[in-house]
Amino acid sequence: MGKLVGLPVAVTVIQAPARDITFEQLMALRVISLDFDFADVQALVARVREIHQTRRIDAVLAMTEAALHPASLAAQAVGARSNPSDAVAATIDKSAMRTLLTEKGLDATAYQVCEEPAELARFAARCPSGTIVKPLDGAGSAGIALVRHSSEISAAWDWCAAAAAGGPVLAEEYLTGREFSAETMTAAGEHRLLAVTAKHTTGPPHFIETGHDLPAPLTDQETDAVRLAVFSALDAVGHTWGPGHTEVIMDGGRLSIVEINTRVGGDCIWEMVELATGIDLVAASVGALAFADLPSASGGRNGAASVRFLTPPAGCVRSVSGIDSALSVPGVIRIGDLPGEGQVIQPLVSSLQRAGYVLATGRDVESCARSADQAAGRIVIRT
């Protein structure tokens, strides 16, 4: 929210219930604290109509994952500029995204929505390299599991179905290769690639993200391939306004879309883009939505940034040490979200169970990646 201070717009903030609004009241023209959840779209639209009648709303920017689709519907109701609700819905529902990409010949990843374990078993039998199971609308690596043998289907189904609230799951062929995300900005259907981020994960079976490096170590030809694939995918789902965070896997000459998010990248990626390129993604999002302006792809800065997430054993935290030593590593600019003594760390089932992070920057990605790794290794969380 602080990134909005000083921008040439009058800001109205609509907050979810039971949130502290002290800071928002200092920086915004109006702050509306809801007494209902964003999921109550009808009530949200009614409230936005009331606001629009007193002072016209020109554009709407969602700042959280849960607000993406409700915000697009509210904007649509009052004729304000926002990403089309159909585009947002198609990216939240991973099977809808797969269908659109397949119909337009942009991605050949095999997939199927499965209602029961028997359907998953039949699909998995057609995928010799393995099968990835995920919730249709999941986020933060929750519910993802890899199946390589029929004996793993039951456990994978239970793991995924728990995250999917018992609903159907999406099965996809297992894609191997290097994982990246493309950070983009769009105005009036024109896309701009601002950065490509390399991803680190825990690997099979659940692939929980443990770090990111920006810029990704890609050749110019590989970057062009990412740009072409991502822009085509954004066009396919109808992404027209605002930020995008699109995950891809590159395996030799094959580049596959994993998922599309109509928001800035989480996990500090939005901040890493600014550290490495000078482009403020929040300000750029406002510029795109309010004025149809796109930032320069160069950004005016030629640096790098890395983040590493800490994943200590589950249990009650007994002590946290090594912080001063970690902060002394050249390039480290922040250590955040560390647990306190007595806090209970849950088993690592998604990104929500990670226990802190190290953020580093530097002139090149190799040096700041080393700094982030070294600093993370100095922090000891005993449980």
CATH of domain 110-173: 3.30.1490.20
Q: Spell out the domain ranges in the chain.
A: 2-82, 110-173, 176-301, 303-383
Q: Does domain 176-301 have CATH number 3.40.50.410?
A: no
Same fold, 176-301 and 303-383: yes
> CA 71 to CA 283: how far, in whole Å?
18
Yes or no: say if 293 and 274 are a contact pair by the CB < 8 Å rule. no
Residue among 237, 247, 141, 254 at smallest CA distance from 184:
247
Yes or no: say if 131 and 147 are a contact pair by the CB < 8 Å rule. yes
Peptide bond into 205 cis (omega under 30): yes
For residue 1, the model assigns a pLDDT of 85
For residue 299, the model assigns a pLDDT of 67
Q: Which residues of 111-137 are buried (b: 16+ CB within 10 A; e: fewer)?
A: bbbbeebebbbebbeebeebbbbbbbb
> CA 294 to CA 355: how far, in whole Å?
35
Q: What does the pLDDT look like over 220-264, one tens digit per residue?
A: 999 999 999 999 999 999 999 999 999 999 998 899 999 999 999
Q: Which CATH number fits domain 303-383: 3.40.50.300, 3.30.470.20, 2.40.10.340, 3.30.465.10?
A: 3.30.470.20
Output helix, strand, coil percentages for the chain, rounded to the nearest 5: 35, 25, 40
The stretches in the chain having pLDDT less than 70 are 299
For residue 273, the model assigns a pLDDT of 97
pTM of the model: 0.94
> CA 141 to CA 129: how far, in whole Å?
20
> CA 287 to CA 131: how far, in whole Å?
41
Q: What does the pLDDT look like over 60-69, one tens digit per residue?
A: 999 889 999 9
Is the Cα dihedral 36, 38, 40, 43 positive or negative? positive
Rounded to 5 degrees, φ, ψ at 120 are -60, -40
Q: Is residue 191 helix, strand or coil?
A: strand
Q: What does the pLDDT look like over 113-166, one tens digit per residue?
A: 999 999 999 999 999 999 999 999 877 788 899 999 999 999 999 999 888 887
